[in-house]
Structure formats: structure tokens, C-alpha cells
Structure 1
Amino acid sequence: MKNLYTNFYQNLFLGGRLFFGLGLSVILFLLSFFFSWMGDVPLFFFWALLLLLLIDLVLLYRTKNGVFARRNAPERLSNGDENDLGIYVENFYPFAINLGLIDETPFQFQKRDLWFKTSLKSREHKMINYQLRPTKRGEYEFGDILAYVQSPIKLISRRYTFEQAEVLPVYPSFLQMQQYELLAVSNRLTEIGVKKIRRIGHSMEFEQIKNYVPGDDYRTINWKATARKGDTMVNAFTDEKSQQVFCIIDKSRAMKMPFEGLSLLDYAINATLALLNVAMLKEDRAGLITVSEKIGAVVPADRRSGHLHKLLQVLHKEKTRYLETNMEALYGTVRGAIKQRSLLIFFTNFESLAAMERQLPFLRKIARLHLLLVVFFKNTELEKITREPANDVEDIYIKTIAEKFLYEKKLIVKELNRFGIQSILCDPKDLTVTAINKYLDIKARQQI
């Protein structure tokens, strides 16, 4: 019985209308002292308010389970993307209700205003949809769903608590990966900014002999087949397959820098997942290496069923470390683990020319064995500073230093190119499209 009364009081909330009515009742009682003609009007008003309150209590509490709510969430969330979630609600009261909902989202989102208001007729149900954008990989713990119900009188609210506690893992951006996968399969990558690369020559992997159509390279005419068929026939070639593509991810402190909520490491992981998936769709073999002060994960190149899931699980567990990158260990791993010439895409970050020069000897050694592509990031905050007007000497000094660092980034690109190392300098938000562009360019030019 004690628990019954405790639950009753804990779940009972007084509404704004009730406080307004009580305030109006107090004013009427005060006025009755000065205006005798008011008589018993304040008393009638007060008892009418109490009667409405009693009716409201009966309406809300005569049904044990007046509403039902359930969270509809995916099995996992995609990092850096807007994930769709929903709350299913149903009204079992014999009258229409006003409903307020609170979903106890994980603390990582810091959402303190996630309040949904709706109205439901008797026996009606609705789905309330909303979106969440996680910015860190890991496990996110959701809590209960709280439903605050009001009858048409709206003097009080009754709270229902639905135990919906669950833990959802946040994986690298598989939504982005699926988007690129669909477009790659349908050869529509140009719709999202991936360039169509003009082929230089053709690969040596023969596909078929087909009829000549205007636009075909006349150098591919098969004269023997033409003589036999009596019609012009050409040799059709396709991209070379089963080439190895390795993504190397730097997990050192240089990759901790945030951009729009996500760290550079998360941008690199999301781009790696999308790029390796496209490479596997192009029938190349995809591999992965992570490195910081020591070697992390090493996933051999493969394209068999289940390999993408293996890459996803490995990338999900990677975290930033706070020491310098051990390039000597990386060179030893590349030398020992990768036996044939491959495309190596190294996601890292250089903030100064001196930082690049410390790693340059090992980058040159790796470039002698494989086709090395170094990907690093523009500092968008410094770019914002350079675009702002300078109002005093201090602003001029800050802008000058910012422009110096941005110029050093361009010098890094030139220095890498001088030693035959290809590089990409891009905004974090454009990383995935830029990396896939470069991969397709390298495939088209048959540089591997």
C-alpha cells in the first residue's frame, strides 16, 4: 500500500492550468473583501476547481495502463551521420489525450531539450521520428522513455515510465559506405562529386571481342576476328583486378584534432571504410594497417565474403593514442606483410614542414616498394582566421602566423611530389570523395 501511494505521488504533476485557477481563486477571495456583491462567487469557483481536479484524477488514474510507448532504434548507429530513431506510442484511454515524451538519450549527445508533444485520439497510435548524430565510436547507453499524459481538462499530468534501457554500438560510417556502394555498383559515382576519369590507353586485362561502335579506339581492332566475321570487331579490355589496396591509418596525437565534432581519426576511418568497400566492388583486394607509437591492427588484403565485416569490426575498436608515429615500425610491417606491389593510402596529418621531414626518410623507402599516397588535412580553423579582417596589430600578427602555417601545408605537398610521393591535401568533410576520386584516377592510369 505504501508503494502504491508513493508511486501515485511520484507520477503526479500539477499543470499550469491548475496554478492559474488557484491564483484566480485567490484574487477572487481578495476582491470579495472589497466588493460585497461578489458574495459566494469565489467559494463556488474554488469548489468547481476542486471538482474538476477530482474528475481529472479519476480520468487519468482509473486505467492502470493508459498509454504504451516503445523506442524503435537500429541495431547499431553510424558515426558522423544522422541516424533515424523513433518512439511508437498508443493511447488506451477512452478519450483523447495530450502527450509529452522524453527519451533518455545517452549522455554523449548532451541533449537536454529532447521533448516531443503530440495528441492522440482514443485507440490511436503514432510513430514520432527524430534523428541523432553521434560523433564518437563506442557504446551508447539509452535509458527509459517517460510519457506525461494529460486529459482534456489539463489540470494535472500522469507520468508513465517505460523501461527501454539498451546499449547501441556506434560503428564507423556504414551509412556513408552503403551510399557509395550503391552508386559504385550502378556506376553513378559522379552524382556525389566523384569525377569521371579519362582513361589513358587501356589495361592489358582482356574481357571480350565486340562489335565496333563509333568512339571505340581504332587501335583495338581485332583484324583476324574482323576478317572472319565480315564486320569490324574490337578487343574490349577491363580494369586489372585483384590488385592490393591498403589503407594505413595514423592513430597518433596528430589525428586527435576535432572538426565539426568528429576527430581527424574518425574522418580517416569513415573514408577508409568507404574506399575499401569501393575497391572490393572493383574486384581489388582490400587491406588495413593502423599505427601509432606501435603497430596496431594488420588486416591482410582480401575480398572474400565477410572481409568487409572484419574491417568494420577492426575499425570500430581503434582509438587515438597520444604519442608520435613510429615510422620505423610501419616500414618494417609494410616490408614484411605486403609482398607484392600495392597501393598504400596513408591517412595522417602534418601541421608543419618539420613534422613531415621527420617522417620523409621512411616515406621514401616505402614509396620505392609500393605506390604511396599520403593523405593529410587542411586546418579549416586557420583558413577562417585568414579570411577575417584585421582590426589591430594583434590581429595582423595572428593572421600572419595562420597564413604561414597554411603556406607550409602547400610546401609539404610540393616536397612530397619532389620525391615522387603522391599526396592529397583536403578538408576533412571532403575526405571520402577526394580519396575515392584519387583511387579511381590511379586505377584508370594503371599506376599500380
Structure 2
Amino acid sequence: MADALTPSRALLACAGGWAVLGLAASHWPLLAQFWQGAGVALAAVAALDAWMSRRQPALRVERELAGVWPVGCWNNVTLRVHNESARTLALDLHDDYPTQWPMEGLEHSTRIAPGAFAAVTYRLCPDQRGKAAFGPAFLRVTSPLQLWTRLHRVGPDSEVKVFPDFAQLLGHTLSATDRRAPAAGAIRKRRRGEGTDFRQLREYRQGDSMRSIDWKATARRNKPITREYQEERDQQVVFLLDTGRRMHARDDVTTHFDHALNAVLTLGFLAQKQGDAVGLMTFGGETRWLAPLKGRTGLDRLLAGVYDLQPSEMAPDFTQAATALLNRLSKRAFVVVITNLRDEDDTALRAACELMSTKHLVMCASLREKVMDRARSTEVQSFGDALRYSATVHYLQQRRDAIKRLGIRADRLIDITPEKLSSALVNRYRAIKESGQL
């Protein structure tokens, strides 16, 4: 597809020279005839050149890029422009990329000999998750006589999927988790409750509980033998994720929803490493249901199922979400509700948690705006600061009252700023696994 014709610098220079000649002819009439002839010749040559450039040049464009990109990271895109014509082509190259993304390396000017190609690599940094489209590249090609440039769209459409930066979001949280994990050879004690699985028999070590001794094995081997246990596997971790309008709230650069999504993926990764199945259901907007699935397959499906998810402008319906989840889950699960609590939600959220708790172990995580904590800790220096401080304290008190009215146990409720959500969920999950509450 060709677009508007633009005069080149050469044509503008010729037109400028012709204008100077016309100025001279106004003083010396003998030059008038020459000036007119030059104008007719220039117009004829320019028209011929424009006519010759009307056709699509014999160019072929290939775009090389990864199909999946991490958000917030620089990624390379390579354009290969092949000249399949019989003449050398001079052109300016620009790609049709998502223009809201930061870019480095374009626009690029080049000359391509017949049968040759030029490769241009530039960088993009996607600033949000989801699908992104690339269109045919923009090629501004110089005409055969170098008097015009014409814009052409050449090349394929492309699409990339922008996922959360999984490596980065897991780095800090799981490094802290690894420090909590027992070292090789460490003594593991059986916790109270039924949520532990037998692992193996081994010789008694100093510090083992007397209740962990297997007396039959001790009698057979004539030395103390201890039962060793591990956290119970084959359980289910299901996230009930709010995609309503409150999750649009933003602290610094990242929205509350993206913090929540990062926490879901972090805990999902840890859960599948522990042998648990991971699932998710969204509410408050688009409803997505990913049934619990074990192993790397479950994690990959979770990541592919939420990478393009965005919060809506709808209000969440907690009771409807709880009912829908109960209808989908037959086996007991650890249900993690992630939302942004308001004081008017106390009755609805309490009813939803009580409904789900009849069958599942439920924990509620509410994201608190970090700006509120900042406002409360800022020194009051003016009347405006005093008004802001008092309003903030009043709002936070209403929030605490709403949380108390939920009637949820302290270890089943998290009220936290978004950037701390991942580590808090990981710690609660490990505590629940080790205590055998599931």
C-alpha cells in the first residue's frame, strides 16, 4: 500500500534554484524564456519521476521478535528489508509498533543494493501486560530520479504476548522463602493435626519428639527409630481474585491489580513446587475459571490465563463469587481471596467468607493504599496538612472497624500494602502447610 508523495531535498533544491532564476529574469528579460523552459522541464521530469514511483517497490520485509515478552524489560526487534528489484533503493525505515512503549533505535536510513538486504535492530520496553500488535513497516522510498519519496507499508502483521516478569517477581520473595526452608539433614518434626504425610523411617536424633518414635520399628532393629514427616501434598490452592474497579488503585507506578497478580503467580509457583494443585477464579468483572491443576502445567496455564487480565469498572459481588466457587470446587481447598476492602463491604464479604468456610480453608487479603500510610506518617506543618492527616486517620479507623466486623481470625486475614502482599501470602501458606490445617 502506497501513501502520500513527498518532495525530496533534491526537488526542493531544484525548485529553489528555479525561483532564484525567476528573480534574476525579472531584472534581465533575456533570461525569461530560459526560466520558463527550465520550469516546464522541471515539472515534466518531476511528473515522470512521480509516475515511475507509483508502483510498490520490489521490497520484502521480515520481522524477527520473540512471541512472549516480560513486561518492563527491553526486548529486541529485528527488521530485515530485502531488495528484490534491479536498482539500488534508498529508503527510511520505521516500524509500526505499539507507540505507547518506550523505543530506542528508530528511525533508520539505508541504501540497499539489488539482491541485498539490510537488517535493522531496535528495542522496545512494554509498559503493560496483554496482547500487543505490530503492523506492516513504514518504508519511505526515494523515487528513481531522487525527486520524490513515497511512503509504503510493507511486511507482515505480528503479535506478542506481554507477560508479568516472572523471573523478577520471584527473585526477592522466593529467596526469602528458601532461607526459611530446612537445610539438608535437618530434623523435621511432626506438627499437630492431620495435615502431614509420612516420608520415611530413620534413626533417632537428639531433639526428636518422643511422639515421633516408631516403637515397632525400634523393637525390630533394637535401636530407636523415628518417623519423619513432610508437608501434605496433593492439596488445592485456589485464588479468588477481585477484578473490580477498586483494583485500579495505583501506588507509584504499579496498580494494585498488578501487585495482586504478581502475588498470585509467586504463591502459585511455590504451591506447585510443593506438589499442590493451583487454580483461580476472577470476579467483579470478567469471570475466568482455571480449575486446579498440579505441576508445571498448572503454573503455565495459570500464567497464560491471566497475563492479559485487566480490572474492570464494575463493583465486586462477593456472595455471587463465593457461590460460583463452591459450585466449581468439590475437593477441600485453601482459598485466597484478594481484594481492596472498603467499610461498606463488611457484611457482604463476611457472608461470602462464612459460606466458603463451610467447606474450604479461607484467607482474605486486602490491599491498603500506601499513600494512606505516608499521609499518616507525614509531619503536620500547615492547616492543609492537619486536614489531610485527620481525614486519613478517620479513613483508616473506618477500615479497621470494617475488618473487625468481618469476624475473621487474625491469621486468616491480611491487611497490607501491595508491595508486601507476595511475601505475606508465601509466609501464611508455609505456616498453614507446616501446621497441617488443611
With the shorter chain as reference, the TM-score category is 0.5 to 0.7
Task: Tell me which of 224, 232, 237 is aligned to 1:245.
Answer: 237
Q: Give 1:283 shift.
A: 0.6
Q: Does the Cα contact within 8 Å between 1:364 and 1:419 map onto a contact in 2?
A: no
Is 1:207 the counterpart of 2:176? The answer is: no
Q: Does the Cα contact within 8 Å between 1:253 and 1:321 map onto a contact in 2?
A: yes
Q: Does the Cα contact within 8 Å between 1:105 and 1:111 map onto a contact in 2?
A: no
Is 1:176 the counterpart of 2:159? The answer is: no
Is 1:126 the counterpart of 2:113? The answer is: no
Q: Does the Cα contact within 8 Å between 2:237 and 2:278 map onto a contact in 1?
A: yes
Counterpart CA distance in 2 for 1:64 and 1:323 is 49
Q: What does residue range 11-90 of structure 1 map to in structure 2 within 5 Å?
A: 12-15=5-8, 19=12, 23=16, 65=57, 67-75=59-67, 80-82=71-73, 84=75, 86-90=77-81
1:165-212 residue CA offsets vs partner (Å, 9 max, x unmatched): 35x4757x3x5346678x7xxxx9644x55632669535433345689
Letter of the structure 2 residue corresponding to residue 176 of structure 1? D
Letter of the structure 2 residue corresponding to residue 440 of structure 1? R
1:76-126 residue CA offsets vs partner (Å, 9 max, x unmatched): 566x554735132235387695633131537xx488999432546653532
TM-score w.r.t. length of structure 1: 0.67
Task: Tell me which of 196, 199, 220 is aligned to 2:179.
Answer: 196
Partner in structure 1 of residue 135 of structure 2? 143
Counterpart CA distance in 1 for 2:353 and 2:56 is 70
SS of residue matched to 2:165:
helix
Partner in structure 2 of residue 349 of structure 1? 340
- Equivalent pairs counted in the alignment come to 413
Counterpart CA distance in 2 for 1:115 and 1:390 is 49
Counterpart CA distance in 2 for 1:312 and 1:263 is 18
Distance 1:229 1:76, change over 3 A: same
1:398-419 residue CA offsets vs partner (Å, 9 max, x unmatched): 3432343345556666776873
Counterpart CA distance in 1 for 2:299 and 2:199 is 27
SS of residue matched to 1:219:
coil
Q: Does the Cα contact within 8 Å between 2:279 and 2:293 map onto a contact in 1?
A: yes
Counterpart CA distance in 2 for 1:331 and 1:63 is 62
Q: Give 1:249 shift.
A: 1.4
Partner in structure 2 of residue 424 of structure 1? 414
Q: Does the Cα contact within 8 Å between 2:189 and 2:208 map onto a contact in 1?
A: no
Distance 1:205 1:127, change over 3 A: farther
Task: Tell me which of 293, 310, 325 is aligned to 1:302.
Answer: 293
Letter of the structure 1 residue corresponding to residue 180 of structure 2? I
Q: Does the Cα contact within 8 Å between 1:195 and 1:437 map onto a contact in 2?
A: no
Task: Tell me which of 94, 98, 106 is aligned to 1:105.
Answer: 98
Name stretches of at least 5 consecutive residues in structure 1 with no aligned partner.
Answer: 1-5
Task: Tell me which of 370, 375, 386 is aligned to 2:365.
Answer: 375
SS of residue matched to 1:440:
helix
Q: Give 1:257 shift.
A: 3.4
Partner in structure 2 of residue 268 of structure 1? 260
Name stretches of at least 5 consecutive residues in structure 2 with no aligned partner.
Answer: 191-195
Task: Tell me which of 205, 210, 219 is aligned to 2:208.
Answer: 219
Counterpart CA distance in 2 for 1:279 and 1:259 is 28
Partner in structure 1 of residue 353 of structure 2? 363
Q: Give 1:355 shift.
A: 3.0
Counterpart CA distance in 1 for 2:334 and 2:198 is 22
Counterpart CA distance in 2 for 1:155 and 1:403 is 70
SS of residue matched to 1:206:
strand
Letter of the structure 2 residue corresponding to residue 126 of structure 1? A
Letter of the structure 2 residue corresponding to residue 241 of structure 1? R
Cα RMSD for the two superposed structures:
5.4
Partner in structure 1 of residue 429 of structure 2? 439
Q: Does the Cα contact within 8 Å between 1:255 and 1:265 map onto a contact in 2?
A: yes
Deviates more, 1:383-392 or 1:277-286: 383-392
Partner in structure 1 of residue 388 of structure 2? 398
1:45-64 residue CA offsets vs partner (Å, 9 max, x unmatched): x99xx7xx98xx69x96997
Q: Give 1:133 shift.
A: 2.2
Letter of the structure 1 residue corresponding to residue 349 of structure 2? Q
Task: Tell me which of 144, 152, 164 is aligned to 1:160.
Answer: 152
Distance 1:91 1:300, change over 3 A: closer
TM-score w.r.t. length of structure 2: 0.68
Distance 1:27 1:389, change over 3 A: farther
Counterpart CA distance in 1 for 2:11 and 2:435 is 76
Partner in structure 1 of residue 193 of structure 2? none
Q: Give 1:12 shift.
A: 3.8
Counterpart CA distance in 2 for 1:366 and 1:421 is 17
Q: Does the Cα contact within 8 Å between 1:346 and 1:373 map onto a contact in 2?
A: yes
Partner in structure 1 of residue 273 of structure 2? 281
Q: Give 1:240 shift.
A: 1.8
Counterpart CA distance in 1 for 2:26 and 2:227 is 106
Distance 1:314 1:278, change over 3 A: same
Counterpart CA distance in 2 for 1:16 and 1:127 is 24
Deviates more, 1:216-225 or 1:363-372: 216-225
Partner in structure 2 of residue 3 of structure 1? none
Q: Give 1:226 shift.
A: 9.5
